[in-house]
Amino acid sequence: MRGRFITFEGPEGGGKSTHVQALSEWLKSQGKTVVVTREPGGTRLAELIRGLVRDEMDDPPVTRCEVLLFLAARAQVVSQVIRPALARGDWVVCDRFSDSTFAYQGYGRGIDVQLLKNFNDFVTEGLMPDMTILLDVPPEVSRERLAARQAATSAAGDRIETAGEMFHRRLREGFFELAHAEPKRFVVIDAAQPIERVSAAVQTAVRRLLA
């Protein structure tokens, strides 16, 4: 039996990494074999690409180059990690996937979303998540959480985190439009709530796949 593919999406500061790990542990407690991965990343090559698209540099990628780098990383992790795991019957939980490209580079950067979807179909060979959990936070909460994280780690924000308020408002609206277009796949959760409530809401949503 094919495994299940769950992705987490949303604006910066929504707690995706935290809830990816929490869901993974919960699924294991339900007897599932779980593979956790992230985008961009998940393979050696894709992790190298992650550094190129996220780090500040003297020669940052232009928007079209940025898109192609994200897509290249996705092609690698789909081929080497996600599809083999699903074929084994494992459950895959991924921190970001195709919808981030549509929101960030489409709604955020202004590239035609349908064009991005066409490119994405090529690199994923049509692979779509069984469920996408959208952890939503308003821009002011996102800013507060990013500032707290940067203060705790003494690390500056990356290129995307520091893209500006209007950019982040556009991408949040983009995520909402994507969710509205596919209500059967998306589950929208208010991630400004306490972690325990968010985690409980995630588990409630995923129980549908377990059934």
Q: 7 pairs with which residues across the strands? A: 94, 132
pLDDT at 56: 66
Sign, Cα dihedral of 88, 79, 116, 159: positive
- Helix, strand or coil, per DSSP, at residue 9: strand
pLDDT at 163: 64
Instruction: Evaluate if residue 37 carries a pLDDT over 70.
Output: yes
**CA R_g for the chain:** 16
pLDDT at 150: 66
Q: Is the peptide bond before 40 cis (omega within 30 degrees of 0)?
A: yes
Tokens of 20: 């990816």
pLDDT at 86: 98
- Helix, strand or coil, per DSSP, at residue 13: coil
Instruction: Evaluate if residue 158 carries a pLDDT over 60.
Output: no
Residues 6+ apart with CB under 8 A from 31: none
Chain mean pLDDT for the chain? 91
Span 5-210: which CATH code? 3.40.50.300
pLDDT at 122: 97
With beta carbons less than 8 A apart as the criterion, state whether 103 and 159 touch: no
pTM, full prediction = 0.91
Instruction: Evaluate if residue 131 carries a pLDDT over 90.
Output: yes
* Spatial distance between the Cα atoms of 51 and 167, rounded to a whole number of angstroms: 21
pLDDT at 59: 83
Least confident of 159-163, 177-181, 202-206: 159-163
% of the chain with per-residue pLDDT over 90: 74
Give the number of other CB atoms < 10 A from CB of residue 160. Answer: 16
Least confident of 8-17, 82-91, 152-161: 152-161
Nearest partner of 168 among 73, 89, 93, 103, judged by Cα = 103
